[in-house]
Amino acid sequence: MNKFLSFYLLLFSIAFYGQIPHCGYDFTSYIVVDVHENGKTENYKEVKITLVDADGNAVINVNNLYSWKNANEPLVFMQNYLISKKMKNRYFFPYATDQYFLSVTSSFPAENFSIKIEDISGKYKTQLIPLQSFNMYILCSTETQKAKMFGKRTNSPVEVVLE
């Protein structure tokens, strides 16, 4: 009985203390979009950016299939915002500045989708831009190792110059 109890305690301690530490972005990636006018660096404020399928229809996040947020709603990007101006500007999503971002699952199939950029003011034309896997911000080291590939690196924003 003592051997059984010792074995059980050993298994419990390995399972409990042998856990791999997780980062705050486990199971989550981000897509970042940098939308600006030609010749300017600041992001244009009057746009709506939506994730769309091959037919140009807004993607609905059915049962959190593509994102852990906003279940059963269209996947729409939001603009990053300042949370602190003390000493140095700090943004809500710290890996982007005033750009637009969307939280997606780490297994999100980016190559199957595009983004639709619509100017709310009507000054610029609507654009559809296909996504690639390198557009995903994969922030945890374990996921980054899986995503390493030849060619462009991950964690690259989608750059959009308004026309």
* Through-space distance between the first and last CA atoms of the chain, rounded to whole angstroms: 76
Q: Burial letters for 24-54: b for 16+ Cβ neighbours within 10 Å, e otherwise? A: ebeebbbbbbbbbeeeeeebbeebebbbbee
pTM recorded for the entire structure:
0.77
Q: Does the structure show a pLDDT above 60 at 21?
A: no
**Residue carrying the six token digits 């110059």:** 161
Predicted local distance difference test score (pLDDT) of residue 155: 77
Q: Does the structure show a pLDDT above 70 at 153?
A: no
Helix (H, G, I), strand (E, B) or coil at 58: strand
